[in-house]
Structure 1
Amino acid sequence: MIDFNKELYFKTDKFKVLLDRYEKSTSQGEPFYLDPEDLTDIAEYYQYHECDEKALSTIDRAIYTFPSAVEPLLFRSRYALLRENDVEKAKYYAQQIIDTSDYDYKYLHAEILIHEGKPEEADEYLRMGIDDLSPRERADYVYDVVNLFLDYDALDCARKWIELIDDKSGKDYRETSARCYLLNQEYSQAEELYMQLVDQDPYSTYYWTQLTASQYLNGKISEALQSSEFALAIDSQCEDALLAKANCQFTLGQLADALDFYHRYSALRPNDGYVESLIGSTYVKMNNLEEALIHYNKAILLANGDRSLFIDISKQKALLLSSMGLRDKALLVIENCINTAKNNIADLHVIKGYIYMDAGETDEGLRQFETAITLSDNDPFIIYQIGTACYDNGEYDLAYDALRRITIENQDDNPIDGWAYNAACCAKMGRADEFLYALRKGCEVNPAEVSIVFSNILHPNIPFTDLYEFIKNKFIK
């Protein structure tokens, strides 16, 4: 994970000169000394730009030349953990670090524990020795640990560490609290804090893009668009702001403009498979399916080293092929995903079921859904996906049964997903009272889903707070 300061460093003349000299030395065989920190920076730059082969070649050179240096081993271990999803390989490189009292080693060890599903064990490990730190060291350490847990969405652990922060009036505390609010879907609170932060530091593109995110997720798309433009006024090449603006334009239906900004982003990050898939999705919205397929294919090639992204984009491609009437090709894509994933494949069987239903083979679609439920041990999110698949295919009775199971009949678990689709089913089936109840619940707990499900009757700028009354008045006369 590249932090914002490292992104800024990559844009400096100092780093550009360093990179240029390194690339000339490797291509021309000229000797050029670089310390392990510089080599690691170059490897991080290559990884940031999705040039994984160059990143690994550079870091392997660093490890070979400086076998006891901490920075290259940290990079290689994290790469194994996050890109290769290989915990054992990550441990192998971590074990080569001699100084286990080094803070970065401790963070790495904790990351591995979190990746293994042991956040509480990581929390306990990170607390060891904290009382021996000076007040300044302790403050820095606590912030590092909070941000580590937030990087892995371990909100409960992060909040425990936030309580250890003594100075709750400073910028760092507000920034960290804003991240927590954003992660916990408390978007109004996050927006308020980021507004304070941009007032304090109006030339920070990071704060402006974070403000954009909080506004976007809170349904304030026009405000988010404006915030992204402030960031671009500061730095016209700010990648996060370019992507954020494109996403806002996409949501507002400004599809040609969205394509323009996705392409501007891609010019800076040509190997980003995720954004290539967003370009494909924009063409789907424009009903240019052939062009969409070209970009999904390119995105899949770019994502080949990232299994999770590869599967996500392949699912989009399969659904596109299904919508084009290419059932067999769509199924072949999903079978390839199943063979690639090997486990955690329940959602892929949902996609197979969708494809069969889309082809008019409802019975086979239902069999695939049953397989998905069995494989997932009745996971509510899988049932949610089945419900939405049935809804999209016009099987409203089946969708209603699935969605009711994870909403009305599951309220002890405070469900968030499914209320809007449940409401839409009830509207289709003439269940007025149930429609209003599900719609109200959806507007309370997941207004973003409501705005998606009922997008055909909403204008893009409607505030989340107005959704219930607006939709109710459209259906209940």
Structure 2
Amino acid sequence: MKDDLSSIFHKPEFKQLLAKYSDMINNHTTIYLEPDEITLLAEFYASMGNIRASEEVVNYGLSLHPDNLDILIFKCHNLIVKGYTTEAQEVLNSITDQSDYEVRLLQAELYLAQKRNQEADELLNQLYQDEKDIDTMLDIAHLYMDEHQKKNAYFWLQKAVSEAPDNLGVLEELASYHFSFGNPEEAANLYNRLLDEAPYTIDFWHNLIRCYLRMYKPEKAMEAIDFAMAIDDTNLITWELKSNALLLENEIEQALDCLFYIEKYTTEKPYIQNIIMSIYFITQNYQKVLEYADKITVSNNLTDFEMASLYHKKGYSHLQLGNVQACEEDIEQGLAYDNHNSDLYLLRGELQLTKGKPEDAQQAFHYGRLFAENEAEAISYAGNAYFRYEYWQQALSCFKEQEKLAPETMHGNYYLTAYCYYRSGQDEDMLTYLVRGAIFSPESLKKEEQENTPFHNDTHFLEQAKAVFMKIENGEINPMKYLQD
């Protein structure tokens, strides 16, 4: 959660460096860069989630400075993040000075990534014996935090607090600990304490805002944003956090205005354009999704996973706009980047239903479920697709399977299940799911929500659903017997 370098990234000197490096890439030329410039650029790209670009900077840096310790350490760290621990160990072994503090710390990080916890603990304890100071304690605590080892992280943080209870670095790391492990309230208290001592530190304001967002307190977040803006109203991180606060308040247009500001001034346009595209996707502005998808594609700066996700959004948008052929092409393009992408297979299943090919749809849905991180969500998607195209039995089969697998995910599909039974003439089962719908998703029957229900044109069914809801309200139906499996 610490943003030690974020303020540096907004300084004119770094922007000039970034522009110089970007020109080099775009013009296919070479320039000389100092090792610290290389690591700063690599850190910037890594902070934006662009690991590929970060690796490219590191590799270029090693072509200029093949034995530079800081660049080698950064390369090793990137490999650990990607899970390439064998390759990381090879790079680490190639470093001449194995006694260097940063090298030993990195070896401990590698041990933790390899689940060699005892060796990591021993190395870190010895490191502290050799370097008994606050910074060592904080570095060790930070490593354990990154590996989600809450108990060990807390031990070293408490050790640091006991020796330097008012040290700003200690308080900042403790705040980061509380935020990381689900206690944003305590983290917010600590960041407020830090701001009492250093009121113009923009990183502290950013992290305080993140705490309020995590606590779903957009009003408090906006108050903190106003202070951050007073310090620097051009800081793009502040603008992004403001967009997050506005999204929490469902102020979509204002949030987009913030993101447009960032898009105008950022050097990493694909990152922010992807956020804008995702908002348009969620709000069903499919023409804008396609517009931004094309902008992002031109950058040619995404991982294969990200490209597959982008083509899914393009394909879904094309389908919603009635362009079946373009949807089919997008699916093929996306699978060329990632042939295990669940969303693309699910979309292919829906596409087959538009063509009246339920057998082909079933096969696509099978692969969508097979590769899904959350099988219940994949089953729900398939059920809803069958429902929209009026394959009632297939939809019902999906919903029943979803209910058996993960009943807590079924709430939004109870009325759909009831409608499937209604269309099949199974009144007793329909009643069961009308009751469950009334209990778990009554908002579907509110007048302002009816246009969003898939059965809003079926007056007879809607009247029955409302009648059941009223009978429950009046005590004429005891819902408990309908909530049992």
Counterpart of 2:345 (choices 340, 343, 349) is: 349
Counterpart of 1:164 (choices 149, 156, 169) is: 156
Aligned CA distance change for structure 1 residues 245 and 14 (closer, same or farther; 3 Å): closer
Indicate if the aligned counterparts of 1:274 and 1:303 stay in contact, CA closer than 8 A.
no
Distance 1:11 1:162 in 2: 32
Indicate if the aligned counterparts of 1:50 and 1:271 stay in contact, CA closer than 8 A.
no
Distance 2:45 2:371 in 1: 38
- 1:109: how far off? 4.2
Q: Which segment drifts farther, 68-77 or 225-234? A: 225-234
Aligned CA distance change for structure 1 residues 135 and 60 (closer, same or farther; 3 Å): closer
| Structure 1 counterpart of 2:391 | none
**Aligned-partner residue type, residue 218 of structure 1:** M
Q: How does 1:18-417 map to 2 (within 5 A)?
A: 35-45=34-44, 59-60=58-59, 62-79=61-78, 90-109=88-107, 118=114, 120-121=115-116, 124-125=119-120, 127-131=122-126, 133-134=128-129, 137=132, 139-151=134-146, 154-155=147-148, 157-165=149-157, 166-168=159-161, 169-170=165-166, 172=169, 175-284=172-281, 288-302=285-299, 304-342=301-339, 344-357=340-353, 361-375=357-371, 381-391=374-384, 394=387, 397-398=396-397, 400-408=399-407
Aligned CA distance change for structure 1 residues 132 and 290 (closer, same or farther; 3 Å): closer
- 1:114: how far off? 6.0
| Structure 2 counterpart of 1:425 | 413
Aligned CA distance change for structure 1 residues 300 and 228 (closer, same or farther; 3 Å): farther
Per-residue CA deviations over 1:214-244 (Å, capped at 9, x if unaligned) read 3333333343344333322222222222112
Structure index of larger Rg:
2
Distance 2:437 2:43 in 1: 51
Query: Secondary structure of the residue that 1:101 maps to in structure 2?
Result: coil
Indicate the percent of aligned positions where both proteins have the same amino acid: 17
Per-residue CA deviations over 1:408-445 (Å, capped at 9, x if unaligned) read 4xxxxxxxxxx3x4222235536476558868xxxxxx
Indicate if the aligned counterparts of 1:36 and 1:66 stay in contact, CA closer than 8 A.
yes
Distance 1:435 1:393 in 2: 19
Gaps of 5+ in 2: 389-394, 419-430, 450-468, 474-485
- 1:276: how far off? 0.7
Indicate if the aligned counterparts of 1:400 and 1:425 stay in contact, CA closer than 8 A.
yes
Query: Secondary structure of the residue that 1:236 maps to in structure 2?
Result: coil
Distance 2:171 2:440 in 1: 35
Gaps of 5+ in 1: 409-418, 440-449, 458-472
**Aligned-partner residue type, residue 317 of structure 2:** L
Distance 2:287 2:24 in 1: 43
- 1:64: how far off? 3.7
Aligned CA distance change for structure 1 residues 273 and 121 (closer, same or farther; 3 Å): farther
- 1:339: how far off? 3.1
**Aligned-partner residue type, residue 104 of structure 1:** E
- 1:53: how far off? 9.1
Indicate if the aligned counterparts of 1:146 and 1:159 stay in contact, CA closer than 8 A.
no
Distance 2:108 2:324 in 1: 45
Query: Secondary structure of the residue that 1:105 maps to in structure 2?
Result: helix
- 1:258: how far off? 1.9
- 1:323: how far off? 1.7
Aligned CA distance change for structure 1 residues 272 and 433 (closer, same or farther; 3 Å): same
Aligned CA distance change for structure 1 residues 234 and 347 (closer, same or farther; 3 Å): same
- 1:262: how far off? 0.8
Distance 2:310 2:365 in 1: 21
Could you say which structure has the greater relative contact order, defined with CA pairs below 8 angstroms and 6 or more residues apart?
A: 1
Query: Secondary structure of the residue that 2:200 maps to in structure 1?
Result: coil
Aligned CA distance change for structure 1 residues 106 and 312 (closer, same or farther; 3 Å): farther
**Aligned-partner residue type, residue 4 of structure 2:** N
Indicate if the aligned counterparts of 1:191 and 1:214 stay in contact, CA closer than 8 A.
yes
TM-score, normalization by structure 2: 0.69
Count of residues paired in the alignment: 424
Aligned CA distance change for structure 1 residues 25 and 356 (closer, same or farther; 3 Å): closer
Distance 1:266 1:24 in 2: 19
Indicate if the aligned counterparts of 2:345 and 2:367 stay in contact, CA closer than 8 A.
yes
Distance 1:274 1:21 in 2: 20
TM-score, normalization by structure 1: 0.70
- 1:295: how far off? 0.3
Aligned CA distance change for structure 1 residues 336 and 92 (closer, same or farther; 3 Å): farther
Query: Secondary structure of the residue that 1:213 maps to in structure 2?
Result: helix
Indicate if the aligned counterparts of 2:403 and 2:410 stay in contact, CA closer than 8 A.
yes
Aligned CA distance change for structure 1 residues 278 and 11 (closer, same or farther; 3 Å): closer
Indicate if the aligned counterparts of 1:50 and 1:272 stay in contact, CA closer than 8 A.
no
Q: Which segment drifts farther, 164-173 or 233-242? A: 164-173
Aligned CA distance change for structure 1 residues 319 and 312 (closer, same or farther; 3 Å): same
Distance 1:283 1:11 in 2: 28
**Aligned-partner residue type, residue 105 of structure 1:** V
Distance 2:212 2:472 in 1: 30
